Structure 1
Amino acid sequence: MDTIINEWHLSAAGFAALACAALLVGFSKTAVSGANTVSLAIFAAVLPARASTGVLLPVLIAGDVLAVLTYRRHAHWPTLWRLFPAVAAGVVAGTLFLLWADDAVMRTSIGVILLVMAAVTVWRRRAAGREDEPDTVTTRSGRLKARSYGVLGGFTTMVANAGGPVMSMYLLSAGFRKLGFLGTSAFFFLVVNVSKVPFSAGLGLIDGRSLVLDAVLAVFVVPGALLGKWAVHHIDQRLFERLVIAATVVGGLQLLLA
């Protein structure tokens, strides 16, 4: 443990913050998809912004696996198949962006993405409260919506692991209820995040040093996922989402002003 802390030049408080962020990843994957934007802000604040995306990705995959095991029976595969091609295009665009972005650009980009995602979440909450019939993926407008959200989700998840709020807004606007939402989201992010590993490794964002830190942080994902599985049936989600939005805005501003 001391070796890892020294190798990454972490303080005790910094490591504790990463551990809490990993726990929140597990919680978000089984309770409130998109809440891990707070974890993104913590990782980018404690670690170098560029390196933080590579360290966070395996932690997210650990959470995805737990979410799939929990909600695997509730996934809607027709929606997933329509999203994946557009997401692939977004991931490629994000990879090209990462080829030239340095640490300062990455920090600014992550901060901007966090603020945009907070705005997206507010929009999602208001759209979910409307009484209009949502577009489905079988209509022309629904297919266009899937492609648009897919490209944006692929880009944001590749650049900053921040595709959660984008996909959350899409799934809710498409009329998904809680369990269908969680099951579809779980499989979506497991497939997308695993597909990002070769790109991230090729860019030097994932290596042996980062994986050792991931192995330690993954331990904290499990209790977070168990807590989320319990909380999804008890939590006041409206209040929680407001807290997540506030924390995301603070994290984004912190990165932009640092």
Structure 2
Amino acid sequence: MLMPHDLFNENLPTAVCWLLAGGSALLIGLSKAGFGGGIGVIAVPMMIFAMRHEYLAIGVLLPLLMVGDFFSVGHHWKRWDARNVKLLLPGLTVGVVLGAFALLWFHEQGGGQAALDESSTYLKMAIGVICTAWVFAEILRAKLAPNWALRPTWKTGTGTGFFAGFTSTLAHTAGPIITMYLLGQKLDKRTFVGTGALYYLIGNSIKLPPYILLTVLAGMPLLDGEAIRAGLWFVLFVPIGTTLGAWMHHRINERLFRNIIMVFVLISGLELMGLGKVVRGWDWPWRSDGNETQQVEPSAAE
């Protein structure tokens, strides 16, 4: 099987792309093991920075997430509240469908396949906004958690499912929404984790048909041969991550680890929105516009 080097971001060294993409898959496994809360969201910008364009990145991530979901559901088998998941499904389905139309709109607005770099910019900015919002949602969740209460009804379930499905289709970032919904019900830890695991497996499975249809009918590079080839190279990092996550549970300070991840998610979100100069005051390596190649002196590379 061909190495995925031709799918990597040409503005970054190949080794860095491997670290970003492999680390992304590893963090998916960590999050599916229940370590660090919603840290899996950082996997999205990491894969985006590693891959040639954003559509390929989110396409590669979907099967990796589903592999992690299978491990997670297997580990927490029947420890879920099925009624809670049923309440989420109608809104989730509508949110996924509208999210798929939003992906198509971003693609067409930028000129479609003929202008992939430009059409990716729309998606990149949307993902940047979602990642940045995730950080503030996590801060809000931490503040509200002790006194947060939410009754599971068709109304709350449908609304939560809709927003989760929409953001998940665009950027695989439904975690904070579902976490807030489940935290408000004061579930015991095993039921909380098991219900989340079942939801993510169903939610990601529902996203699969729209991704395939957008690839086949609209020509969008989401789940094409390139995405499948890249996914096969990185899929083994997911079970490694789940094993590592189980090992880290009682050895690493989860709160500190999650806070570090939040900082990186915020920086990544701002960068995806084109605000890298605000964050660091200079162009980041992956912000090359492709019209010029930065020359590196031999001494600087050694």
TM-score by length of 2: 0.78
Structure 1, gaps ≥5 residues long: none
Asked whether 1:116 is paired with 2:133, we answer yes
User: Which residue number in structure 1 is paired with residue 229 of structure 2?
Assistant: 212
Asked whether 1:58 is paired with 2:58, we answer no
Asked whether 1:251 is paired with 2:256, we answer no
Mapped partners of 1:192, 1:255: distance in 2: 25
- For 1:102-251, list aligned pairs within 5 A: 102-130=119-147, 134-137=149-152, 142-204=153-215, 205-251=222-268
> Which structure carries more relative contact order (alpha carbon 8 Å, separation 6+)?
1
User: Which residue number in structure 2 is paired with residue 89 of structure 1?
Assistant: 94
Mapped partners of 2:95, 2:254: distance in 1: 30
Mapped partners of 2:247, 2:192: distance in 1: 17
- Which structure would you say has the larger Rg? 2
User: Which residue number in structure 2 is paired with residue 80 of structure 1?
Assistant: 85
SS at match of 1:67: helix
User: Which residue number in structure 2 is paired with residue 35 of structure 1?
Assistant: 39
- Tell whether the 8 Å contact from 2:76 to 2:197 is kept in structure 1 after alignment: yes
CA RMSD across the alignment:
1.8
User: Which residue number in structure 1 is paired with residue 20 of structure 2?
Assistant: 17
**% identical aligned pairs:** 28
Provide Cα deviations, 1:91-120, integer angstroms capped at 9, x if missing partner.
011011011102110000000000111111
TM-score by length of 1: 0.91
- Tell whether the 8 Å contact from 2:20 to 2:49 is kept in structure 1 after alignment: no
Distance 1:46 1:113, change over 3 A: same
| Residue type of the alignment partner of 1:128 | A
Structure 1 position 125, deviation (Å)? 1.1
Asked whether 1:5 is paired with 2:8, we answer no
- Tell whether the 8 Å contact from 2:9 to 2:17 is kept in structure 1 after alignment: no
Mapped partners of 2:95, 2:203: distance in 1: 11
Structure 1 position 74, deviation (Å)? 1.4
- Tell whether the 8 Å contact from 1:49 to 1:106 is kept in structure 2 after alignment: yes
Distance 1:230 1:74, change over 3 A: farther
Mapped partners of 1:241, 1:7: distance in 2: 30
Mapped partners of 2:151, 2:256: distance in 1: 28
- Tell whether the 8 Å contact from 1:50 to 1:107 is kept in structure 2 after alignment: no
| Greater helix content | 1
SS at match of 1:162: coil
SS at match of 2:235: helix
Give the number of aligned pairs: 252
Mapped partners of 1:233, 1:184: distance in 2: 22
Distance 1:229 1:213, change over 3 A: same
Structure 2, gaps ≥5 residues long: 107-118, 216-221, 275-286, 288-302
Provide Cα deviations, 1:226-246, integer angstroms capped at 9, x if missing partner.
122233355433323322221
| Residue type of the alignment partner of 1:56 | L
- Tell whether the 8 Å contact from 1:33 to 1:185 is kept in structure 2 after alignment: no
Provide Cα deviations, 1:150-183, integer angstroms capped at 9, x if missing partner.
1110000001111112111211122223222211
Distance 1:234 1:168, change over 3 A: farther
Report which stretch shifted further, 161-170 or 173-182: 173-182
Distance 1:156 1:7, change over 3 A: closer
